[in-house]
Structure 1
Amino acid sequence: MAWFETWFNTPYYHILYKDRNFEEAEYFISLLINDLQIPKHSKIIDLACGKGRHSVFLNKMGFEVLGLDLSEESISQNKIFENDKLKFKVHDMRDPIYPEISKMKVDAVCNLFTSFGYFESEDDDKKVFRSVADVLEDKGFFVLDFLNEKWVKNTLVAQAVTTKGNIDFHISKRIEDQHVIKDIVFKDQGEDFHFFEKVKLHTLEEIGSYAAEFGFERVKTYGDYNLGTFDRDTSPRCINVFRKL
């Protein structure tokens, strides 16, 4: 199994990342929706939705939302938030969404907080763009929130220890073959564990070429969650907004 198929389904993944900033996420979503002027009651897919925080907030803003994620554990927990306009389903982002998962096309697809770059094969990367293109209405938006690869290279912290839930997570990072690899080592109840994360450092140009191949045009690029201007050297994020032609 791929690293993300095992790690994302463990309770330790959720322990390590349990303190993610919900206020920052909601602030970013509010700014994004306002800047793109997406009308209320639009249909939105939250692709790789994780624990569903963005899906829930988008639904509260008045949108019809479908949250999709590979992790059965996350989707199972998200089911408590469901209502007539908010649904969650297990789904691999490489597989077709329309009409297998969603019977109707949508107005926007969001892939947020580095939920891309997990795959070894370029063909798998392209499958994501194909599935999004197929499920989007014409002129619909695809928001791909990704790392700024140059900033990652310039700011990498090689070693760190973070304590969550009485567990000391020893984290080491390195860059290998244009991938950032994070090793996560810890002990719990006398047992040793070792997981890792591996994300390909796609460049702005690579992402743009994938998008163009499947009928998208890039209309905006933000450099942070305040929607600041993207700068290759200093921006922590590379938030791409594409429109389906």
Structure 2
Amino acid sequence: MIKDDKTWYASWFNTPFYHILYKDRDYAEAENFMFNLTNYLNIPEDGKILDLACGKGRHAIYLNKMGFNVTGVDLSENSIAHAKQFENDTLHFDVHDMCKPYHEQFDAVFNLFTSFGYFENEEDNLNTIKAIKSNLNEYGFGVIDFLNSEYIIENLVEEDIKTVEGIDFHQKRHVENGYIVKDISFTSEGQKYEFQERVRALILADFEALFEKAGVYLLDVFGDYKLNKYHKKTSERLILIFK
């Protein structure tokens, strides 16, 4: 059995299996979210956007097609190596640790699809927000698209099996020490694998405290990708706009 004991996100996000498990993500919904978000923020034509923890670049690629100058960064070398095939004069990808400031400033910094709250060192949550602040220009906006922990915990599916590309992914979920935990086990080509996802069950008040410490200002909160109002008991997402 292969069980990787490195920092879970550094190992799991770098495997092909992570992308197989989540390959059915709704691209139309993601594109609609990017359209709604850029319109709401009124990002200037050909404005600069940093996609923080961009994975293989699906959001960054679409934002670039909309006419924006986009940089996508991620800790996963494999994901960035894949994304680089899509680079052009106004689309670039780079391996980067989002806890640290990037070397440019932008009209917007997007941290999407719950790419936050999984650090071993909780101080890195604050460091990431500080880094986002430093990467915003005078008129720039930060966006964190996080899961709504209160809704997720209330509606937690404790166990299921998801079959993708002939692989049965056994998924078990529980809450432990303030984290939403998912244990993932599967067999591929006769080899057994085990991975775990751990995301801090942060709520709106936690983000407000982090923002205050980082010296940024919360401007708006939305509860879904259509930018409807946030309700802590019924919204699936917690989308925070700040500067």
Same fold (TM > 0.5): yes
Q: CA deviation at 1:231?
A: 0.3
Gaps of 5+ in 2: 1-5
- Map of 1:87 onto structure 2: 92
CA distance in 2, matches of 1:167, 1:209: 41
Partner residue of 1:69 out of 70, 74, 80: 74
- Map of 1:161 onto structure 2: 161
Secondary structure of the corresponding residue to residue 217 of structure 2: strand
**1:179-231 CA-partner distances (Å, limit 9, x unpaired):** 00000011111111100100001110111221222221111100011111000
- Map of 2:101 onto structure 1: 96
Show the 5 A alignment for 1:71-150: 71-97=76-102, 99=103, 104-150=104-150
- Map of 2:210 onto structure 1: 210
Q: CA deviation at 1:178?
A: 1.2
Number of positions where the alignment pairs a residue of Structure 1 with one of Structure 2 = 238
Consecutive aligned runs of 4 or more in structure 1 exceeding 4 Å deviation: none
Letter in 2 for 1:78: A
Secondary structure of the corresponding residue to residue 186 of structure 2: strand
**1:63-84 CA-partner distances (Å, limit 9, x unpaired):** 1100000111110000111001
Name the TM-score, length of structure 1 as normaliser.
Answer: 0.95
Letter in 2 for 1:62: G
Show the 5 A alignment for 1:167-178: 167-178=167-178
CA distance in 1, matches of 2:193, 2:87: 34
Contact 1:40 1:61 in 2 (8 A): no
Q: CA deviation at 1:18?
A: 1.1
- Map of 2:186 onto structure 1: 186
CA distance in 2, matches of 1:139, 1:149: 30
- Map of 1:47 onto structure 2: 52
Q: CA deviation at 1:120?
A: 2.6
- Map of 1:30 onto structure 2: 35
CA distance in 1, matches of 2:240, 2:86: 28
Matched residues, percent identical? Answer: 46
Moved more, 35-44 or 68-77: 35-44
**1:6-35 CA-partner distances (Å, limit 9, x unpaired):** 001111111111111111100011011111
Q: CA deviation at 1:121?
A: 2.2
CA distance in 2, matches of 1:8, 1:69: 10
Letter in 2 for 1:180: I
Secondary structure of the corresponding residue to residue 216 of structure 1: coil
Q: CA deviation at 1:105?
A: 1.3
- Map of 1:3 onto structure 2: 8
Does residue 1:18 correspond to 2:31, yes or no? no
Contact 1:79 1:88 in 2 (8 A): yes
Gaps of 5+ in 1: none
